[in-house]
Structure 1
Amino acid sequence: MRAYRLLPLLLCAGVVHAQMPAKDTVKNGKDHPLLSRFEGSKMVGYGLKEFDEVMLPAGKRIESKDGQMAFDSKLLLEGKYTRMAYNFPRERSALEVMRNYQAALEKAGLKTVFACAKETCGRGFGDFFLEKRVGDHFIQGAEASWDPFNYGRNDERYLLAKGTRPDGSLVHVGVYSVAPVQDKLGGIYVEIVEAKAMEGGKVSANLNAADMAKGIAADGKVAVYGVFFDTDKTDVKPESKDALAEMAKLLQQDAKLKLYVVGHTDSQGALAHNLELSQKRAESVIKVLAAEYKVDAKRLSAKGVASYSPAASNDAEAGREKNRRVELVKQ
């Protein structure tokens, strides 16, 4: 953990002029496709989480009833979380930086949810970003890359914007900037939360052959959720091997059993496309069972039904994930 030095905000004699780094100090960092950097600035911090829970300030910093500092409004979001930190030249002001970001966000169709500057942000607003966002070694490079967020923390501006992407999903953007003070550079911190479904299939609880047999005996069918495909693809992923092995064992234990292998999708996308996709996925399962597990393909028949037989509502991602499945149906 970086030791935070809440330095005095008075100009000290003998201050060395801060110099812009010759280039970005971050390895593998990149600007977000939604929002370019302020012209002339250098990236000094970068982070990406494909899915995370994020709190974005949406109000001023206040002292709560129990004496703790908090925000009078905040957003708790989930989704793809990207954050970037930049240094910008001393010749530019935090006001100019913020006005440029605001104009760019408005042009992209995002609306301002909350904005503040200096005292209107509340007491300790800059301290929060220093300690909770740009601290803990997030800033990469020399100490001078981190100094702007320390020295300029009481000359801050903040903007939170919200918008909708073409696919209908929400995106939130928070922009925090600190002014160049005491001959330090200016600082910009941007965080973007894009609403998205968490990737399923990272942890699976596969039915074994005995469970599959019981399901077929009781209901004439059984749903298998351990067979995975990439989005809009038909090749069976390697992570499916455990489920496929149990399917093969089921067939080996009952030589007379014949099955329909039925592919199901959620309701997203065109129905005709999903019918073809689900059919080809079912066919892929049979091909793998025959080629790698020596199952007689004549005992299996592929059917694709797209979203015609949902197991849950398609209105929410949890239901859609349940609908994306392979079923074994007794012939």
Structure 2
Amino acid sequence: MRKYLLLCAAVAPLAHAQMPPQDTVKGAKDHPLLSRFTGAKLVGYEVKEFDEALLPAGKRVADKNNQPNFDKVLTLEGKVTRIAYNYPKDRSAVEVMRNYQAALDKAGLKTVFACAKENCGDSFGEYWRASRVSNNFVKGEIAYVEPFNYGRNDERYLLAKGTTADGTPVHVAVYSVAPVQDKNGGLYLEIVEGKPMESDKVSANLNAADMAKGIAAEGKVAVYGVYFDTDKSEIKPESKAALGEMAKLLQQNPQLKVYVVGHTDNQGAPAHNVDLSQKRAEAVVKALAADYKIDGKRLSAKGVASYAPVASNDAEAGREKNRRVELVKQ
């Protein structure tokens, strides 16, 4: 799955009329999962490391308000790659789509939905032209977007799903329009890899007042602003804001004594994680005592590894929630 799935068509003299002489988007490249159809030129490209994608998985129909919609739509999240190509007008949409179908089948991806022409439903091609392959997406001359306009009523579509070699779920949408009225053909790919979102891009640490409310209500409060490198117990500099609020809580409530409890996810050996979480809790106690002059007698470090999760450890989003420091009232 890491290698290109080569889409091989018999090589024949190419029709050069209106074909881009080269790719029109600087720095763009084919997706590692799928190569381009022979002779195609890349004319539109966008990659989002994490985004939402809506991929049709059914015919275009009228909804209860008589507005165009789909029988079914998949709402996906992950890394989204969008690529548009022009392909030579001496190749057919049937040939293009069957090559992609064969490549996806060979890679083990299963077809979720496929359609051609009127079987796709009314205004199916218009939807793709308006929402995906408009002038704003296709770069270069107007001739390079024209295939998606002129060929929108002679369209084919395929949605497939599977997993990559490392187990990442992936969905691939392939939309093609036939060469009509002496235009070239148009091809659009949208590939969604179900990778977790990069976290810790925005900090939203609890302040001392919020921590006090949590302890009053539940006897404990989780603090997510204390950061450590993987498998390390040294507190990272960006933890300063959270430590400051923890210190303020203890300064404003001089009678309060707390357990500083370190939690990990379930990755790694349990015994190792118990030791790691204990060392992390001790590092927080040491920082509060040394840097903020909190009496060490009011603090007690405890490490409980992954024995008290607040979310499932089956996915990264849950593991992230489980990696935390808690202040528990003694």
TM-score scaled by length of structure 2? 0.77
CA distance in 2 between counterparts of 1:167 and 1:324 reads 24
**Paired residue type of 2:262:** G
**Paired residue type of 2:121:** G
Aligned residue in 2 for 1:10:
none
The 1:216–1:115 alpha-carbon spacing in structure 2 relative to 1, beyond 3 Å, is closer
Tell me the CA shift for residue 304 of structure 1. Answer: 4.6
Bigger mean CA offset, 198-207 vs 120-129: 198-207
Tell me the CA shift for residue 173 of structure 1. Answer: 0.9
1:164-215 superposed Cα distances (whole Å, 9 cap, x missing partner):
3455553211000112223322211011122244444445442223544565
The 1:325–1:137 alpha-carbon spacing in structure 2 relative to 1, beyond 3 Å, is same
* Conservation of the 8 A alpha-carbon contact between 1:201 and 1:228: no
CA distance in 1 between counterparts of 2:76 and 2:130 reads 20
Q: Tell me, what secondary structure is at the counterpart of 2:125?
A: helix
CA distance in 2 between counterparts of 1:231 and 1:100 reads 44
The answer to whether the aligner puts 1:63 opposite 2:44 as a matched pair is: no
Bigger mean CA offset, 129-138 vs 313-322: 313-322
Tell me the CA shift for residue 26 of structure 1. Answer: 1.3
* Aligned residue runs from structure 1 range 110-259, under 5 A: 110-135=109-134, 137-166=136-165, 168-212=167-211, 221-228=220-227, 239-250=238-249
Identical-pair percentage: 74
* Conservation of the 8 A alpha-carbon contact between 2:163 and 2:169: yes
The 1:62–1:253 alpha-carbon spacing in structure 2 relative to 1, beyond 3 Å, is closer
The 1:286–1:40 alpha-carbon spacing in structure 2 relative to 1, beyond 3 Å, is farther
Tell me the CA shift for residue 114 of structure 1. Answer: 1.1
1:133-164 superposed Cα distances (whole Å, 9 cap, x missing partner):
11150111221221111122122111000113
1:250-289 superposed Cα distances (whole Å, 9 cap, x missing partner):
4666789886654323335654665566466557757876
CA distance in 2 between counterparts of 1:304 and 1:40 reads 60
The 1:270–1:135 alpha-carbon spacing in structure 2 relative to 1, beyond 3 Å, is farther
The 1:76–1:302 alpha-carbon spacing in structure 2 relative to 1, beyond 3 Å, is same
* Conservation of the 8 A alpha-carbon contact between 1:17 and 1:184: no
Bigger mean CA offset, 231-240 vs 23-32: 231-240
The answer to whether the aligner puts 1:94 opposite 2:89 as a matched pair is: no
**Paired residue type of 2:188:** Y
**Matched residues, number:** 316
The 1:276–1:149 alpha-carbon spacing in structure 2 relative to 1, beyond 3 Å, is farther
The 1:234–1:104 alpha-carbon spacing in structure 2 relative to 1, beyond 3 Å, is farther
The 1:82–1:282 alpha-carbon spacing in structure 2 relative to 1, beyond 3 Å, is farther
Q: Tell me, what secondary structure is at the counterpart of 2:157?
A: strand
CA distance in 1 between counterparts of 2:136 and 2:23 reads 16
Q: Tell me, what secondary structure is at the counterpart of 2:189?
A: strand
Aligned residue in 2 for 1:44:
43
Aligned residue in 1 for 2:81:
82
**Paired residue type of 2:205:** N
CA distance in 2 between counterparts of 1:124 and 1:231 reads 51
Q: Tell me, what secondary structure is at the counterpart of 1:83?
A: strand
* Aligned residue runs from structure 1 range 316-331, under 5 A: 319-329=318-328
Bigger mean CA offset, 111-120 vs 233-242: 233-242
Aligned residue in 2 for 1:8:
none
* Aligned residue runs from structure 1 range 14-29, under 5 A: 18-29=17-28
CA distance in 2 between counterparts of 1:317 and 1:116 reads 35
The 1:166–1:272 alpha-carbon spacing in structure 2 relative to 1, beyond 3 Å, is farther
**Paired residue type of 2:69:** A
CA distance in 2 between counterparts of 1:154 and 1:214 reads 61
TM-score scaled by length of structure 1? 0.77
* Conservation of the 8 A alpha-carbon contact between 1:171 and 1:192: yes
* Conservation of the 8 A alpha-carbon contact between 2:173 and 2:190: yes
Aligned residue in 1 for 2:105:
106
CA distance in 1 between counterparts of 2:186 and 2:236 reads 44
* Conservation of the 8 A alpha-carbon contact between 2:220 and 2:327: yes
CA distance in 1 between counterparts of 2:205 and 2:100 reads 48
Q: Tell me, what secondary structure is at the counterpart of 2:145?
A: helix
The 1:213–1:115 alpha-carbon spacing in structure 2 relative to 1, beyond 3 Å, is closer
The 1:122–1:233 alpha-carbon spacing in structure 2 relative to 1, beyond 3 Å, is farther
CA distance in 2 between counterparts of 1:299 and 1:98 reads 69
What are structure 1's unaligned runs of at least 5 residues? 1-15
**Paired residue type of 1:50:** E
**Paired residue type of 1:31:** D
